[in-house]
Structure 1
Amino acid sequence: MRRGRTARVLGSRTVWTGVGDGEFFCPGCGGDRNYQRLTGRRRFTLLGVPVLPRGETGPVVECAACQRHFGTDVLDHPTTTRFSAMLRDAVHTVALAVLAAGGTHARHTLETAVTGVRAAGFDDCTEDQLAALVEALAADTGRLFGPPCGPGLAIELHEALDPLAPHLAAPGRESILLQGARIALADGPYTPAERDVLTTVGAALTICGDDVTRLLAAARTPS
């Protein structure tokens, strides 16, 4: 009886203070939610009254909807809105890189590229727009001038794909590579420049070399 009475008399309490807010993907709710970043101070309580400090705790992230607390590493994951934009930009960049390597003279190549880019979220993309962008990129000697998939183009691909790769499962990463492969194959076999670009895409997506070779070969086989 005495121990139970002591447990009710003594306790601890954490007082939280907001130090920031924003939007995040809440793993508890399964969607984008507002959050508040909190730090806390713990205190012993006597009869429910805070008395002695026990130190600091946190920081934590509190979901405004479900009120659950998460570690701050949850903010490393993009919101669904941000993830969609990253995926859209990645597909667009890969399409431009493959077109820049293989050329835009074949209409079927442009049609294949437009289909993939539209499916990724650029609903208003047209063949003329892609052709104009490729021409502009080719004129930008600081980025695309030089050997197949030179340093400038490789940087473009890594900037678009590196942040996305950790958030994609293997099938998702492979899908982006295969989309690029279909564009390259639309007008015939891979050229050395196209294969070099696709190898760079695979590396940026953290797909191992053997799997890149397998996927590029599979893309050549009619389904």
Structure 2
Amino acid sequence: MVHSRMAGVRTAWRVVDDGDFFCVSCGGDRCYRRLNGRRRLTLLGLPVLPRGAAEPVVECVACRGRFPLGALNQPTTTRLTALLRDGVHSITLALLATGDNAAANAATRRTAVEAVRAAGFADCTEERLLTLQAALAADSPAQLDREVREALSALTPHLASPGRESLLLHGARIALSDGPYRTSELAMLSVIGEALSLGPADTERLLATAALSA
């Protein structure tokens, strides 16, 4: 048996990519290096025989922690903030477009603009929001449903249940700002709930709770 100090397996790493990612060890956005590796049998510290490729890894430049490539699937804090902002924007426009002239109601316009500004679009105005609403209102219901699902598809997998419920309640507040739910609004809120991976029973419960507190 060859003594472990004389022989072993070492991995030679090579940087093949870099960028930003969310480091779970640091708890925030950091720079990363993607590394590919080749393993070699060493004797007395010298490489003598190749042992094949090592699993590629992601290395945090800050803490030097190494993680599977799946770590890159987690959005950065910056990216997640943008996805949330776009999700609120899409839900707001969808409710305005299906609200049966709800966009003409002053309370609805005010609620919609305040929500979109709070989400990160600080320069949002009623005029800009209603221009976008008018364009969406020309779409067929099926096309509008598809656009809402696509807008939320990138965000939903990265939100825990409370976050997804909060987005549905945001839509409920828009719908309720000018009175009880309309049939078209309930239909759109059901689509939003499904796109957020909320079960029908949970969607109904949340909408009922929002109506009681409106």
- Name which of 201, 206, 214 aligns with 1:215: 206
Q: CA deviation at 1:137?
A: 2.2
Partners of 1:132 and 1:39 lie apart in 2 by 49
Partners of 2:127 and 2:211 lie apart in 1 by 27
Partner of 1:205: 196
Instruction: Return 102-111 or 191-200, whichever deviates more.
Output: 102-111
SS in 1 for 2:41: strand
Instruction: Return 39-48 or 84-93, whichever deviates more.
Output: 39-48
The letter of the residue matching 1:137 is: L
Partners of 2:32 and 2:173 lie apart in 1 by 41
- Unaligned runs of 5+ residues in structure 1 are none
Preserved contact between residue 98 and residue 137 of structure 2 (Cα < 8 Å): no
Preserved contact between residue 94 and residue 136 of structure 2 (Cα < 8 Å): no
Partners of 1:99 and 1:43 lie apart in 2 by 62
Partners of 2:194 and 2:213 lie apart in 1 by 25
Q: CA deviation at 1:72?
A: 0.5
Q: Does 1:119 align with 2:118?
A: yes
Q: Does 1:185 align with 2:176?
A: yes
Q: CA deviation at 1:119?
A: 1.5
Size of the aligned set, in residue pairs, is: 212
SS in 1 for 2:173: helix
Partners of 1:113 and 1:176 lie apart in 2 by 13
Q: Deviations over 1:131-169 (max 9, x none)?
A: 121112224xxxx23xxxx22111111111111111001
Partners of 1:138 and 1:184 lie apart in 2 by 15
Partners of 2:213 and 2:150 lie apart in 1 by 32
Q: CA deviation at 1:128?
A: 2.0
Partners of 1:118 and 1:24 lie apart in 2 by 27
Q: Does 1:137 align with 2:147?
A: no
- Name which of 158, 168, 190 aligns with 2:159: 168
- Name which of 19, 22, 34 aligns with 2:16: 19
Q: Deviations over 1:85-119 (max 9, x none)?
A: 11100000000000111131111011111121111
- Unaligned runs of 5+ residues in structure 2 are none
Partners of 1:194 and 1:222 lie apart in 2 by 17
The letter of the residue matching 2:118 is: A
Normalization by structure 2: what TM-score? 0.94
Give the ranges of 4+ consecutive aligned residues of structure 1 lying more than 6 Å apart after TM superposition.
Answer: none
Q: Does 1:8 align with 2:8?
A: no
Partner of 1:158: 149
The letter of the residue matching 1:170 is: S
Preserved contact between residue 136 and residue 144 of structure 2 (Cα < 8 Å): no
